[in-house]
Amino acid sequence: DQQVKQNSPSLSVQEGRISILNCDYTNSMFDYFLWYKKYPAEGPTFLISISSIKDKNEDGRFTVFLNKSAKHLSLHIVPSQPGDSAVYFCAASGGNTGNQFYFGTGTSLTVIP
Partner 1 sequence: KAGVTQTPRYLIKTRGQQVTLSCSPISGHRSVSWYQQTPGQGLQFLFEYFSETQRNKGNFPGRFSGRQFSNSRSEMNVSTLELGDSALYLCASSYTGNTEAFFGQGTRLTVV
Residues that bind partner 1 (CB under 8 A): 2, 4, 6, 32, 34, 36, 41-46, 49, 89, 91, 93, 98-106
Q: Which residue, among 41, 12, 18, 35, has the nearest Cα to 109 in the 3D structure?
A: 12
Give min distance, CB of 84 to partner 1, in A: 18
Nearer of residues 77 and 87 to partner 1, judged by Cβ:
87
Nearer of residues 42 and 113 to partner 1, judged by Cβ:
42
Give min distance, CB of 15 to partner 1, in A: 27
Q: Which residue, among 79, 88, 74, has the nearest Cα to 37 in the 3D structure?
A: 88
Contact 25, 3 (CB under 8 A): yes
Give min distance, CB of 11 to partner 1, in A: 16
Nearer of residues 16 and 95 to partner 1, judged by Cβ:
95
Q: Which residue, among 3, 91, 96, 109, has the nearest Cα to 47 in the 3D structure?
A: 91
Give min distance, CB of 17 to partner 1, in A: 26
Nearer of residues 4 and 13 to partner 1, judged by Cβ:
4
